Structure 1
């Protein structure tokens, strides 16, 4: 198909693209700061809170967001995944069946990492805002929080490898689409554009501000406690 017979289709709305960029920032920031330790742990908590807010936003946006960002458009399906493999990775607007599995697994793992981080503590001077609720569960979730790091690194590595593989072997520029929001598609197709107007963006801003306010309020709940309580 010649380039002249293609048109850009708006697939990823601006809120989804910003979510993706900020999630990368929170992941890299959390990983770097936990390795640096010391006073950087305060920033580790901040990046974790950012990830918590982002996951909550994505769950909501997956219901009310742009057409291709909605979970109803890419439900996990073994049958569709098998058909997709048999068709030799045919191009798909939005998340393809294999990519759908990646999205759900990453949301699950990052979501658990963010959730468990709210209860985690390092037995020195840093604790999540909800660690004070139960010393026992704080200890349990701290262990799971550390263990989940390796699963996260593995799924992120697979995600990056998949993006590179699609670029090298299938000519699909998935990363570019997430940056621009568009995918080139045959002009004669009836593909719809995802809603990405000011109303949609305003809705996303309101949702984000409400989540930010809730996360900030959460940080004010934790009392000053001695770390002897967690030992």
Structure 2
């Protein structure tokens, strides 16, 4: 059966992906430049995006749902050995990368909200936790979390390059949403209703991030 264009990544997922990439870069740059006001703004933006992805991982397009890329150890082993191909959504390695990056980013944002540099800036949640928690969060945020992000992002980029060398393009489908696949592959729903739902979810998550940002002023 000849391949045809199949919608895999819905528009909300694609916009999330690129917005998150830009915000993470902006977070690193603002931290290195000591532009902490902007660092916090981008941090709240990442908080909103992560909250969106957690919700969209349940209700989004089929291939964006977490259940679509939960792989068994056997599938993982067969994929590593080259005995099983996963060319539709996230491969077992890709899924592992996604979960690891989401987890590390969640920890980094949470630790940032509880961090205090004891000079000029502190996160909005520092007043609600003990000094020990603040100290641990500050240590993690500055000494551990950011370097884990560097490693995971580096591995992510390396994987994209390696897949491209093998003739499997990952960037293009994350821009257009489509892959050339057999017609029997289930497409993700990506219509006006889906996109409006994504906008509503993002608005709610943005409101959540804004509310968190105001906690320090109460």
Equivalent residue, structure 1, for 2:175: 179
Q: Which residue is equivalent to 1:154? A: 151
Q: Over residues 121-143 of structure 1, what are the superposed CA-to-partner deviations in whole Å (9 max), with x where a residue is unaligned?
A: 22221121112223332221010
Query: For 1:113 and 1:89, how far apart are their aligned partners in 2?
Result: 34
User: Do structure 1's residue 95 and structure 2's residue 126 form an aligned pair?
Assistant: no
Runs of 4+ in 1 over 3 A off after TM superposition: none
TM-score by length of 1: 0.89
> In structure 2, do the counterparts of structure 1 residues 91 and 80 end up closer, same or farther at CA, with 3 Å as the change threshold?
closer
CA RMSD of aligned residues (A): 1.6
Q: 1:70-118: CA deviations, max 9, x gaps?
A: 0110014321111112335635201011111111101100111111111
1:45 to 40, 49, 64: 40
Partner Cα distance (2:86, 2:169) in 1? 11
Q: Which has the larger radius of gyration?
A: 1
Q: Which runs of 5+ in 2 are unaligned?
A: none
Deviates further, 85-94 or 211-220: 85-94
- Paired residues in the alignment total 216
**Please, what TM-score do these two structures have when normalized by structure 2?**
0.94
Q: Which runs of no fewer than 5 residues in structure 1 stay unpaired?
A: 225-231
Higher normalized contact order (CA 8 Å, seq sep 6+, divided by chain length): 2
SS of corresponding position for 2:94:
helix
**Alpha-carbon distance in structure 2 between the residues aligned to 1:142 and 1:77:** 36
